[in-house]
Structure 1
């Protein structure tokens, strides 16, 4: 309980020495492990941590105004979707066609979010909308990037199989799906594992956040269940869409750019 009590003390000195120490030490450990282990992401870890600090401080300053107005909340969701799509595009391809990734992220996340709003599990504005939208958009972005990369890698490394499928009468799209579908579908494994083991191996963020916010364990469990199954839907749609885009040649790897 001591850890929980210290985490929810948000009305005093928010930026406490303990918080600064935790952020600095965890970042230092991650950077050191990457550097010493030759993992190649020491600089990326440092930049990511610095960006997280700046971005969260900015969000903390503007979020109060955003949450007071439904229109601003919707605009903030649109901004999150655009940034997620841009990030996915940059990760998948350096060409203009990478922006098709935005379509996959937006369609997957906003489809499921609209469903939750439609059945009144999520409000149409305010804190609930922004919080759930952030989780779903992040899940769509991750699934799009992972599935897209795996599909593009499969088509590159198994190009001979793609050509063999063409030689026996497959259309280009169907041949690409034959080669890349299983690899792209691996992007669903982390979400499936998280859902299968929830409560037994991990307590995900929504559950912990609800508990720290004062909700009962039952209330936290219900919210987490909705989030998990919504994420499964979002990620499934995102994987299917980006796989189709890759198979149709809309999203291509850097080596395939004209």
Structure 2
């Protein structure tokens, strides 16, 4: 692979994404090229450290912990949650990733080796970040659109958690759509990265397909755990977003609502 050609291709594609978003006057068009720039930096650093990390299970654990921390920060920002929720959110992401990984390695589906731990763990942690961000934002939107119904349930004496249950279920279903669709269309619409990477690395196609199935199943299980935990943590809000400045803020648990 020619490094110069890679730089040229990435630069052109980043410029194209920026131009389209800017012309359409979408939110923050500079986020696309910045994201590319960060990816370049982060992948460069990752390439430098992976040689040592892959040989030591302790460093793999440290690396995954850093990933969970970074994912937590992204979800807090995207869902507009207060930073005091960071420990609980990090716990949700950690448990959601740990459960399917425990199943995978305990059943012997993959050998408990640093390289597999990092590969599966990194993909699953990334998926929990996406699902959690979607859950937080979708829940805020569902609380706005379902405000009248929720306040009607409250007027009838329902608890905040019961009144918001429909909004929570809607948000959870929305958050699971990308990972579900990715799994349903694998091999037909998409060629997933884990499969392609394993084939390019020299693995037989059937072995690569097995690894990809493990990854997809882990992503689905982790996503389900995420929406269940976040639905419980955020499903009894103290107040409803008013559709204005705080409409993107995820619900907060508490005892009362305010208009």
Tell me the TM-score normalised to structure 1 length. Answer: 0.87
RMSD in angstroms over aligned alpha carbons?
A: 2.2
Structure with greater helix share of residues: 1
- Aligned pair 1:18/2:5, yes or no? yes
Give the number of equivalent residue pairs.
245
3-state SS of the aligned residue for 2:213?
Answer: helix
Taking a change above 3 Å as real, the CA distance of residues 53 and 250 of structure 1, as seen in their structure-2 partners, is farther
Query: 5+ unaligned residues in a row in structure 2: which ranges?
Result: 253-259
Q: Is the 8 A contact 1:97 1:250 kept in 2?
A: no
- Aligned pair 1:34/2:21, yes or no? yes
Taking a change above 3 Å as real, the CA distance of residues 250 and 53 of structure 1, as seen in their structure-2 partners, is farther
Instruction: Name 2:60's counterpart in structure 1.
Output: 73
Q: CA deviation at 1:18?
A: 1.0
Taking a change above 3 Å as real, the CA distance of residues 74 and 227 of structure 1, as seen in their structure-2 partners, is same
- Aligned pair 1:131/2:119, yes or no? yes
Q: CA deviation at 1:87?
A: 1.1
Q: CA deviation at 1:126?
A: 1.5
Q: Is the 8 A contact 2:143 2:240 kept in 1?
A: no
Q: Is the 8 A contact 2:142 2:170 kept in 1?
A: no
- Aligned pair 1:208/2:208, yes or no? no
Tell me the TM-score normalised to structure 2 length. Answer: 0.87
Q: CA deviation at 1:182?
A: 1.5
Q: Is the 8 A contact 1:105 1:141 kept in 2?
A: yes
- Aligned pair 1:106/2:94, yes or no? yes
Q: CA deviation at 1:22?
A: 1.3
Instruction: Name 2:236's counterpart in structure 1.
Output: 248
2-structure distance, mates of 1:98, 1:159: 24
Q: 2:44 aligns with which of 38, 42, 57?
A: 57
Deviations 1:61-102 (A, max 9, x none): 111111111111111111111111121112112523442332
Query: 5+ unaligned residues in a row in structure 1: which ranges?
Result: 1-5, 7-14
Q: CA deviation at 1:60?
A: 0.9
